[in-house]
């Protein structure tokens, strides 16, 4: 499982959701070896936190999506327009049980 977090101003959250669905969601779901996507949002204190969690069939599939340094976060052209803070790396976990 791969997880990444980023934050926008609350007033930009709805626009960033639409942007993520048009870019990141498509990029993840069309990537070979992707087995699931969950994009979440939490509004708090004038900011919105976005957590993107994806499931992959193998480490090789993650590397094919993310590149030579799979722990580096993948960004899209207009992310700078929305994000006020972001993780520069993605965190990976081994899934040992799931429904």
Tokens of 38: 């969950």
The structure tokens listed for 56 are 């992959």
pTM of the predicted structure, to 2 decimals: 0.94
- The pLDDT tens digits of the residues spanning 10-46 come to 999 999 999 999 999 999 999 999 999 999 999 999 9
Domain 2-92 has CATH 3.30.70.100: yes
Strands 2-9 and 34-44: unpaired
- Are 65 and 28 in contact, with CB atoms under 8 Å apart? yes
The answer to whether the beta carbons of residues 49 and 42 sit under 8 Å apart is: yes
What is the reported pLDDT for 3? Answer: 98
Domain coordinates in residue numbering, the chain: 2-92
**Neighbouring-strand partners of residue 44:** 47
């Amino acid at each position: 499982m791969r997880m990444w977090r980023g934050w926008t101003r609350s007033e930009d959250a709805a626009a960033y959701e639409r942007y993520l669905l048009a870019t990141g969601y498509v990029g993840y779901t069309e990537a070979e070896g992707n087995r699931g996507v969950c994009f979440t949002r939490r509004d708090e204190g004038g900011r919105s936190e976005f957590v993107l969690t994806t499931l992959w069939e193998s480490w090789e599939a993650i590397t094919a999506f993310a590149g030579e340094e799979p722990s580096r976060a993948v960004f899209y052209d207009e992310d700078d327009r929305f994000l006020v803070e972001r993780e520069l790396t993605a965190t990976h976990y081994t899934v040992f049980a799931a429904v």
